A and B are shown apart, each in its own frame.
Chain A
Amino acid sequence: GAGVSQSPSNKVTEKGKDVELRCDPISGHTALYWYRQSLGQGLEFLIYFQGNSAPDKSGLPSDRFSAERTGGSVSTLTIQRTQQEDSAVYLCASSLTLGSGTYNEQFFGPGTRLTVL
C-alpha cells in the first residue's frame, strides 16, 4: 500500500525566499508529525496534528515556520524568509492516532532535503 509521501524530494532556494513542503500521510491516519533532521542536531520535532484539534506547535523554531493540514489529510509546512540555518531534511510521519500504543507506529516519509544558499 501507499506510504507517506513528501514533495519535493529536494529543494534549493535562496536566502530570504519562502518555501512550501508537502506531506501526504497514509490514508486513514489521523495524526501527522513534522520533524527536522540536521547535521549535529539529530531529529527534532516541529509540529503535530491530531484530527481536527489545534496543532501542537511547540517545536517550531521561530515564527517564520508554520504548517497547515487541510481536510485532515495533506499537510504543508511553510518556511518564510528562509535562512541558511534552515537547511536540513524535513521529515513527515503519520500514525493511526496519537500516542505510543502497541499498534500505533509512526510511519515516515522519505523527506525533503532543503538547501538554503
Chain B
Amino acid sequence: GNSVTQMEGPVTLSEEAFLTINCTYTATGYPSLFWYVQYPGEGLQLLLKATKADDKGSNKGFEATYRKETTSFHLEKGSVQVSDSAVYFCARQSGNTPLVFGKGTRLSVIA
C-alpha cells in the first residue's frame, strides 16, 4: 500500500544550523509529495509540495526535491531559526486519494 516514512524525532539544533529531515515514500503510482508544518498551538499548514519527479518545492527557505530514483523527498534548510521550531510531516497523495502522512518529526531550534 501507500506509505510514507520519515525520520524519528525529536531533532534539536542550534540556530543557524543546517537541517535535513529524511522522508521516503512507497513507489506506488505517481504521487504528489508534500511537507506540512504544525507550529505550536496552530493548525497544520502546507509548507511546500512537488508534483512530479525532479521538481523542487521551496518556501520560507526550506527546500525538498522529488527524487524518483531514491523514492525520497528530504526536507532541507540551510540555516534554521528559533521560529522554525515545529512538527514537520511528510505526505503523499495519488490522484483522488486522501493524503497519507508520515508520523511527524518534532524540530526544536535553540538560540
B93 within 8 A of A: yes
Query: Interface majority SS on A: helix, strand, loop or mixed?
Result: loop
From 34 to 79 in chain B, residues with beta carbon under 8 angstroms from any chain A beta carbon are: 36, 42-46, 49, 51
Partner among A41, A45, A110 whose Cβ is within 8 Å of the Cβ of B99: A45
Counting residue pairs across A and B whose Cβ atoms lie within 8 Å, the total is 55
B101 touches A43 (CB 8 A): yes
Given A100-B32, A100-B95: A43 and B46 interface contact (C-beta under 8 Å): no
Closest chain B residue to A44, Cβ basis: B101
B100 touches A45 (CB 8 A): yes
Contacts of B100 in A (CB 8 A): 45
From 68 to 104 in chain B, residues with beta carbon under 8 angstroms from any chain A beta carbon are: 89, 91, 93-96, 98-104
Contacts of A105 in B (CB 8 A): 46, 49
Contacts of B91 in A (CB 8 A): 43
B45 touches A100 (CB 8 A): no
Given A43-B104, A100-B32, A109-B43: A33 and B98 interface contact (C-beta under 8 Å): yes
Q: Which residues of B contact A (CB under 8 A)?
A: 31-32, 36, 42-46, 49, 51, 89, 91, 93-96, 98-104
Q: Give 11 CB contacts A-B under 8 Å.
A: A33-B98, A35-B101, A41-B103, A42-B89, A42-B102, A50-B96, A99-B95, A100-B32, A100-B94, A105-B46, A110-B43
Q: Which residues of A contact B (CB under 8 A)?
A: 3-4, 33, 35, 40-45, 48, 50, 56, 59, 91, 93, 98-102, 105-106, 108-111
